[in-house]
């Protein structure tokens, strides 16, 4: 059995549907209409100990719902979840003592108190031993460069600072598994880089198993080896970042800059577009057209100043997946 085992899990919510205006309000009062929304549909996946997995999908895809079921907050309607032998929603109290969860949009910190006071409270709640607490605190504060603001009240922190404090709060009790739900949301480029670096180090040094959701592909590219893509509650892809490129990203683009203005002859399997300043763009499928032959061909026929090949951005591949094009 895998460390994290999710088997055909489904979850739906009931949503009150209300038409606009006073008439809608009155109708809703007398005969409310409800609609069932399937947030997660028959999702299965396994994660091994020490893995770092990115969980992506558009808004409303069911990422957060899945994370909340994995962390014991929500009950699945059907299916089975087991994490390290625990059933999260049934053994919540024992289970949550072993995991850490960071919600990018919800803070665990006490709004009015200095950050360090929230940490002290967590120390009491999790019964963290003094030496472990000290060791973790010093290490994380150092890694996330938080020395400047641990004594400030949370309400005075910037979003990036608060997020870092929240990450430390979720890790003080040395959890074996950490779930991050959009840990970089609203954080600036520098802050994001610090957080990614921290996540990478923690995974590498402590073998902490991690699952995190994000909208930012950079987060995934820089941290995860494995990717799970979900859309409309169903799993669409599960595998490495590399193989997603190989499988779906076979389109290549060759940008050619000529020394003089001239038209290119048509080539089979290649779409040619004119760009500005004697630049042409040649798009083709990597499996149909050999890039070496193509370049040789061009260099013989034309006088070329510059050649660049570009791979598609992972973002645009996923965009296509969402749209059902691949």
Partner 1 sequence: MLRAYLAFAKKSFLQKSAYRFDHFMGIFNTILRIFIFWEIYQALYGGRAEVDGITMSMVTTNFILSMGLSVVFKVNDFYLPDKLQDGSIATELLLPVSFHGRMLASNLGSSLFQLVFHFVPALVVSVLIMGMEAPVSAPMFILFLVSTLFGYFVLWSISFLMQMMSFWMLNVWAVMTIKDVFVNVLSGSMIPLWFMPNWMQGVLKFTPFSYIYFTPVQIYLGQLSIKEIFIRFAMQAFWIFVLLMAGAFFWKKGQKKIVVQGG
Taking residues 49 to 88 in sequence order and writing x for each that binds partner 1 by CB under 8 A, - otherwise, the string is ---------------x---x--xxxxx-------------
Considering beta carbons, is residue 43 or 170 the nearer one to partner 1? 170
In order of 8, 100, 193, 250, 280, the CA distances from 227 in angstroms are 18, 20, 19, 18, 34
Contact between 160 and 167 under an 8 Å Cβ cutoff? The reply is: no
What is d(CA 168, CA 301) in angstroms, rounded to the nearest whole number? Answer: 61
| Contact pick of 27, 116, 121, 132 for partner 1 (by CB under 8 A) | 121
What is d(CA 267, CA 282) in angstroms, rounded to the nearest whole number? Answer: 10
| Contact pick of 6, 101, 256, 289 for partner 1 (by CB under 8 A) | 101
Rounded (5°) CA angle 282-286-292 = 75
β-bridge partners, 101: 179
| Contact pick of 108, 174, 218, 281 for partner 1 (by CB under 8 A) | 108
Taking residues 125 to 164 in sequence order and writing x for each that binds partner 1 by CB under 8 A, - otherwise, the string is xxx-------------------------------------
| 34 is a contact residue toward partner 1 (CB under 8 A) | no
- Least Å distance between CB 299 and partner 1? 54
Contact between 100 and 180 under an 8 Å Cβ cutoff? The reply is: no
| Contact pick of 93, 131, 190, 325 for partner 1 (by CB under 8 A) | 93
Considering beta carbons, is residue 41 or 98 the nearer one to partner 1? 98
| Contact pick of 8, 78, 87, 94 for partner 1 (by CB under 8 A) | 94
| Contact pick of 22, 105, 131, 300 for partner 1 (by CB under 8 A) | 105
Contact between 229 and 58 under an 8 Å Cβ cutoff? The reply is: no
Residues that bind partner 1 (CB under 8 A): 13, 64, 68, 71-75, 92-94, 96-97, 101, 103, 105-108, 110, 112, 121, 124-127
């Amino acid at each position: 059995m895998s460390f994290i085992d999710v088997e055909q899990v489904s979850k739906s919510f009931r949503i009150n549907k209300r038409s606009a205006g006073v008439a809608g309000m009155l109708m809703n009062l007398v005969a409310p209409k409800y609609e069932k929304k399937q947030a997660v549909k028959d999702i299965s996946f396994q994660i091994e100990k020490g893995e770092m997995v990115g969980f992506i999908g558009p808004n409303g895809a069911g990422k957060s719902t899945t994370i909340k079921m994995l962390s014991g907050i929500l009950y699945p309607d059907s299916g089975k979840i087991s994490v390290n032998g625990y059933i999260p929603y049934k053994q919540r109290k024992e289970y949550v003592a072993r995991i850490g969860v960071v919600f990018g949009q919800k803070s665990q910190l006490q709004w009015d108190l200095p950050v360090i006071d929230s940490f002290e409270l967590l120390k009491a709640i999790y019964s963290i031993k003094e030496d472990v607490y000290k060791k973790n605190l010093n290490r994380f504060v150092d890694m996330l460069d938080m020395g400047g603001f641990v004594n400030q009240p949370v309400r005075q922190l910037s979003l990036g600072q608060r997020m870092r404090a929240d990450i430390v709060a979720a890790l003080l009790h040395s959890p074996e598994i950490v779930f991050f739900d959009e840990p970089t949301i609203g954080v600036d480029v520098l802050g994001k880089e610090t957080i990614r670096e921290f996540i990478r180090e923690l995974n590498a040094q402590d073998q902490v198993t991690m699952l995190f959701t994000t909208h930012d592909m950079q987060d995934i590219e820089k941290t995860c080896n494995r990717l799970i893509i979900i859309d409309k509650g169903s799993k669409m892809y599960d595998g490495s970042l590399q193989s997603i490129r190989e499988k779906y990203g076979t389109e290549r683009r060759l940008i050619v800059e000529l020394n003089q203005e001239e038209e290119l002859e048509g080539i089979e399997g290649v779409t040619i577009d004119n760009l500005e300043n004697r630049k042409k763009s040649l798009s083709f499928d990597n499996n149909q057209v050999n890039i070496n032959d193509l370049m040789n061909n061009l260099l013989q026929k034309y006088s070329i100043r510059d050649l660049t090949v570009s791979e598609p951005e992972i973002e645009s591949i996923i965009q296509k997946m969402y749209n059902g094009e691949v």
